[in-house]
Structure 1
Amino acid sequence: MSNADMFLDMARTAHVKGQTEQALSLIDRVLYTEPNNQAAWLLLAETTPDPARRTQAYERVVAINPQTAAGKQAVAALQATPAPPATSAPPAAPAVPADPRPPANADSAAPKQPAVREGRWDCRYCGSKGVRGRDIACPACGHVRDKEVRFYLPEEADEVLDAALLQRAKAGVDWLCAFCGTSNVATAEQCRQCGASKAESNQHQAEKTYTLDQVPRSAKAPKPTPAPAPPPSKSGGCGSVVAIAAVLLLFFVGLGAWLLWPRSSEMAITGYSWERTIAIEELQTVTEEGWEIPAGGRRLSERQAVYGYNQVLTGYETRTRNVSEQVQVGTETYTCGQRDLGNGFFEEVQCDRPVYETRTRSETYEEPIYQAVPIMRTSYTYEIDRWRVVTTRRVGGSNRRAEWPTLNLRDNQRAGTRTEQYIVVLEDGNRRRYELEVSQAQWEALREGQRVEVQTDAFGKPISIE
């Protein structure tokens, strides 16, 4: 026996027991997979209480094959169906002249009703997946969904347009029989399983509202909703730029630390050098200019000069500028969530948000006008004696006898700043030579041929002697 035959047998049994809704659900399941199954269409015609749907089912049986036993039975049933009584047409109403005025609110469209979509549920008895929300009982095993059922809405779920299904979806949540636990549609006044009255039961399937990111797409428990991200800054991609800059900064800091991190290497001292300098200063008479004459200065001349400027307000000038502003021009309705109706169907949750438009307007304003007024002060020209560096005496060598240059100074000269530098020549294991500046005490303590521990950079260049 095929699955279709098994489902049709179950549907016939349910029909005999008066369980019409379960029988129709089983028949629909067969027709979903085998739309040309004559036996299913014939059983649908015998089961449905809807005359229009019964006629449609018979016509479908005949269209498939009128020569089979099922086809002949359908033809006989259609011929026995009485035609609707003819009704006389009412007298024509007198013509009414057209009103030239447009109807009120002619340009305003009726608000769109929230879309209804059919959900799915999984049978926890036989494991069937994706059972339609309209099916109270599992078409595979016949078990009725209970209060533990979890409805979910697949991403590809289409909008329900059938009037009967829409009426079913909006009838209310399913109620649960207090005696046998059977789930029943909201319009049923008695339990489909045991016949208990709806008034004796007060349990219902849960009605829930979800935001768009929380809508269950499968029967699995939803993942915890993550904390909302902070709103983006007005600068748009500023956050991304900052993140990239931070990564680059960390990279270069790490690279610099690796390059500068000292290494230890043994090297030999192969030579020395030294250099000492003394700057020679001479007292000279120079001419300078300033707002004051310093001590020791001798005035030569003076004059009035511009010391600075004051910004003085002289008036206002009327100017025009363009100003952009956000103006609310209305509201728009958008889908902000889904509501589980507790009966296998979901309905869109609609929210309103303001709609803004950028408008530019012209405005006048008063621009202050300033004039730069010079500040006059007395400027002095004077002469004064200053020590000036005229030459530098320098002496050096590659021996261990460092000394200062010999000076022959005139009466108007003196020794100025002194400098000294001490160098050792180092050689590594690859016979590469480096010069390293050290202190005088270290230079005097080291000996040629001595092997010392040297801190180097990443390229082997000496940094210091340990």
Structure 2
Amino acid sequence: MAIHVGRWDCTTCGYKGVLGPKTECPNCGADRPKNVKFYMAAEKDIVQDPEVIRRAKAGADWRCSFCGQNNPNDVQVCKDCGNPRSEADKQLAVKTYTTADVPRSGDGTKDFSKLKEKEAIATPPTSKKGCFIGLGIIVGIVGLLVLLALNKTVEVTVKGFEWEQSILVEEKRNVQEEDWSIPNGGKIISSFQAIHHYDQVLDHYETRTRTEQRAVGSEEYVCGQKDLGNGYFEDQYCTRTIYEDYQVEYEEPTYRDEPVYQTKYRYSIDRWFSISPIVTQDKNHSPTWGNAMHIRTSSSLREAGRTGTYTVIVQDEKNEEHIEEIPLSWWQQLEIGDNIKAKRGRITGGYRGLYKEEEQSN
């Protein structure tokens, strides 16, 4: 397993790429950071010297609990303060990374971005920022004024009414249809054989070739790195199976569509179809349904429902007229000359939410 020399960055002066085993910065002399992060700068930093390899495998460095200095694992007395090693002196962390996750750069240099963020908090906004803030306030005020205008209650006077009522009509007709069975009310005309569906039937086999794989051995490969906690990294190996491609002949079945016949019927049956409705309309307050007497006396016609629309014409304080569709129950209660409340709605350009004065008080 190959041993690589790691790197670390000085947090005191910002010097980058200090050799991992070094416990002091060559630029400013500061001790290796307390929470040092080792990283691999290049794959070529492979250790060849047997003595260095032995030192790398000796174990993680330990940190003196008295002065904070980092010391090699095989040193029993702190090289900085002379304190003997004790149980209070913790070893640096040993970590294992996958090849994709192994750190390739340090994060120990001074982080000036946080300082800038703090300064930005205390710095008054520039004129450009102030302009945007002021514009936002203006837009908010305008929006509020528009909302208040839309919800403003005004008084309008009923000037007239319009209505339209429709009776939906259906006509019974005798038609001919085809199906695999005769529905209730149908009268058979004829029957015949027809294709109902297709079955998949084996027709023949065709010889074809496909590519498959088979295991022919195994191999070891570098699948990660182990941070030894002393400035060195050690390759971690995994085993994987080696495969080779080979061609295989096989027989593939080919199918054909085989039609399946069943008896189909042609029959006559009465069906109801929508025809033109009976529509009545006027500009008064007395709606009437159209004459549907001929529907009730005919065996070939029937009512399929009734619909109606009811509108009121109102005049506002500017003598402008607006038309509003409202429910029949309310429409019937209104009279010409009634004064009612309304809310101006820009969606329709007219008035929405008409209501009587006495209903508002309730």
TM-score (norm 1): 0.46
- The alpha-carbon distance between structure 1 residues 400 and 369, as it changes in their structure 2 partners (threshold 3 A), is same
> What does residue 161 of structure 2 align with?
272
> What does residue 3 of structure 2 align with?
114
Structure 2's unaligned 5+ residue stretches are: 111-149, 356-362
> What does residue 142 of structure 2 align with?
none
Cα distance between partner residues in 2 of 1:434 and 1:356: 84
Answer yes or no: is 1:350 the counterpart of 2:236. Answer: yes
CA shift, 1:274, in A, is 0.7
CA shift, 1:366, in A, is 3.2
Could you tell me which of 319, 334, 340 is aligned with 2:229? 340
- The alpha-carbon distance between structure 1 residues 201 and 434, as it changes in their structure 2 partners (threshold 3 A), is same
- Which residues in structure 2 correspond to 1:86-125 (within 5 Å)? 113-117=2-6, 119=8
Answer yes or no: is 1:374 the counterpart of 2:260. Answer: yes
Cα distance between partner residues in 1 of 2:219 and 2:319: 83
Cα distance between partner residues in 1 of 2:198 and 2:64: 92
Partner letter of residue 201 of structure 2?
A: L
Could you tell me which of 148, 156, 159 is aligned with 2:45? 159
Q: Is the 8 A contact 1:176 1:205 kept in 2?
A: yes
| Higher share in helix | 1
Q: Is the 8 A contact 2:171 2:302 kept in 1?
A: no
Deviations 1:79-113 (A, max 9, x none): xxxxxxxxxxxxxxxxxxxxxxxxxxxxxxxxx72
> What does residue 108 of structure 2 align with?
218
> Larger deviation: 163-172 or 414-423?
163-172
CA shift, 1:397, in A, is 0.8
- The alpha-carbon distance between structure 1 residues 136 and 456, as it changes in their structure 2 partners (threshold 3 A), is closer
Cα distance between partner residues in 2 of 1:407 and 1:142: 107
CA shift, 1:432, in A, is 7.3
CA shift, 1:346, in A, is 2.4
Cα distance between partner residues in 1 of 2:10 and 2:262: 92
> What does residue 399 of structure 1 align with?
284
- The alpha-carbon distance between structure 1 residues 162 and 437, as it changes in their structure 2 partners (threshold 3 A), is same
Partner letter of residue 222 of structure 2?
A: T
Q: Is the 8 A contact 1:121 1:149 kept in 2?
A: no
Cα distance between partner residues in 1 of 2:334 and 2:69: 100
Answer yes or no: is 1:308 the counterpart of 2:308. Answer: no
| Higher share in strand | 2
> What does residue 422 of structure 1 align with?
310
Answer yes or no: is 1:292 the counterpart of 2:182. Answer: yes
Deviations 1:123-178 (A, max 9, x none): xxxx77768766667889999x79x9554436758937695993685373568999
- The alpha-carbon distance between structure 1 residues 434 and 325, as it changes in their structure 2 partners (threshold 3 A), is farther
- The alpha-carbon distance between structure 1 residues 355 and 121, as it changes in their structure 2 partners (threshold 3 A), is farther
- The alpha-carbon distance between structure 1 residues 292 and 423, as it changes in their structure 2 partners (threshold 3 A), is same
Cα distance between partner residues in 2 of 1:283 and 1:191: 107
Q: Is the 8 A contact 2:63 2:92 kept in 1?
A: no
Please state whether the residue corresponding to 1:336 is helix, strand or coil. Answer: strand
Cα distance between partner residues in 2 of 1:281 and 1:189: 105
CA shift, 1:288, in A, is 4.7
> What does residue 253 of structure 1 align with?
none
- The alpha-carbon distance between structure 1 residues 275 and 337, as it changes in their structure 2 partners (threshold 3 A), is same
CA shift, 1:409, in A, is 2.8
TM-score (norm 2): 0.56
Cα distance between partner residues in 1 of 2:328 and 2:81: 109
Partner letter of residue 396 of structure 1?
A: Q
Q: Percent identity, aligned pairs only?
A: 17
Q: Larger C-alpha radius of gyration, 1 or 2? A: 1
Cα distance between partner residues in 2 of 1:164 and 1:430: 102
Q: Is the 8 A contact 1:305 1:378 kept in 2?
A: yes
| Structure number with higher relative contact order (C-alpha < 8 Å, ≥ 6 residues apart) | 2
Partner letter of residue 331 of structure 2?
A: W
Please state whether the residue corresponding to 1:451 is helix, strand or coil. Answer: strand
Cα distance between partner residues in 2 of 1:193 and 1:294: 104
Q: Is the 8 A contact 1:293 1:380 kept in 2?
A: no
Q: Is the 8 A contact 1:315 1:370 kept in 2?
A: yes
- The alpha-carbon distance between structure 1 residues 317 and 149, as it changes in their structure 2 partners (threshold 3 A), is same
CA shift, 1:272, in A, is 2.0
- The alpha-carbon distance between structure 1 residues 114 and 459, as it changes in their structure 2 partners (threshold 3 A), is farther
Aligned residues, how many? Answer: 298
> What does residue 327 of structure 2 align with?
439
Partner letter of residue 166 of structure 1?
A: V
